[in-house]
Amino acid sequence: MTQQYSPSELLICLASRVMEDGTTAFIGTGIPMLAASLAQAMHAPNLVPVFEFGGTGAILEKLPLAVGDMRTYNKGIAASGICDIMETSQRGFIEFGFLGGAQIDKYGNLNSTVIGDHAHPKVRLPGSGGGNDVGSACWRTIAIMIHDKRRFMEKIDFVTTPGFLSGPGAREEAGLPRNTGPYRVVTNLCTLGYDDETKRMTLLSLNPGVTVDDVIENTGFELLMAEEIIQNDPPTDKELKILREEVDPDGLYRK
């Protein structure tokens, strides 16, 4: 029987499973780092992590504390800089981009800039960092978020990172690369994707113990439903062992 696990550990394992072997992935600080490290240890030994400050292809033997940590270069294939990395994504060489945010809407637009009016905000957030670049240029973006109505909103307060903007064709009209955009949203309740035609967020699978009604109750807009909504498997004993003993033994992020 699977051991008990925390909500953060579940998020890390679910995000890790999305990472495919032999692909490039733009990795941010926190849960994406743990997920990438776990993926390399579990099923994706040839995953190429890309970090904003210039580390490419690091073997994540020890958890980096930030995207500029020296461990983001460990046994890597390149050590460059921010401009090189952003240009690499603009040239179409980065397949996955992992993002977070305070708010998200049904088209996958993300806000990490302000809560409230931009000129007179209630809360000023960290801002874009590389979020806009990742969402604009990577082929497929994956958002990792806590799921509640304050975050999943009909209209977000500010578009920091473009998703599908206002719907089908909007990214292309804005000059963004064709066939790029949001791919998945991994939350503490479920995994969501996007409908090919309408570009709207769609419920794909539920986390253990979560119902469709739970997801609807915590979403501030109408979700589309996949034809078959499946159940996400809980973290396995092997995943938890690697995560706790090798990836983050000090519990810096997983707790």
At 126 the pLDDT is 84
Would residue 108 be called left, alpha or beta, if left means φ above 0 and alpha means ψ between -120 and 50 degrees? left
149 inside domain: yes
At 252 the pLDDT is 84
Q: How far apart are CA 39 and CA 54, in angstroms?
A: 21
What pTM value is reported for the model? Answer: 0.92
Burial code (b: 16+ CB inside 10 Å, e: under 16) for 55-85 equals: bbbbebeebbeebebebbbeebeebeeeeeb
210 inside domain: no
Chain-centroid distance, C-alpha 43: 18
At 2 the pLDDT is 61
220 inside domain: no
Residues 6+ apart with CB under 8 A from 32: 15, 25, 98, 144
202 inside domain: no
User: What are the pLDDT digits (tens) for 8-32?
Assistant: 999 999 999 999 999 999 998 888 8
Q: What is the CATH number of the domain that holds 15?
A: 3.40.1080.10
At 212 the pLDDT is 98
214 inside domain: no
Residue 213 identity (one-letter amino acid): D
Q: Of how many residues is the chain composed?
A: 255
Considering the candidates 52, 172, 217, 228, report the single residue annotated as catalytic. 52
Which regions of the chain are under pLDDT 50? 1
**DSSP helix/strand/coil, 82:** helix
33 inside domain: yes
The count of domains in the chain is: 1
User: In the annotation, is 239 catalytic?
Assistant: no
Q: In what order do the strands lie in the sheet with 190-194?
A: 78-79, 55-56, 48-51, 24-27, 96-99, 140-145, 181-187, 190-194, 201-206, 224-231
Which structural domain, as residue segments, surrounds residue 166? 7-186+234-247
194 inside domain: no
Residues 6+ apart with CB under 8 A from 72: 49, 51, 53, 55, 58, 64
Q: How far apart are CA 36 and CA 212, in angstroms?
A: 29
Q: How far apart are CA 154 and CA 53, in angstroms?
A: 34
209 inside domain: no
In DSSP terms, 205 is beta-bridged to: 191, 230
Tell me how far CA of residue 197 lies from CA of 77, 110, 159, 227, in angstroms.
38, 20, 22, 15
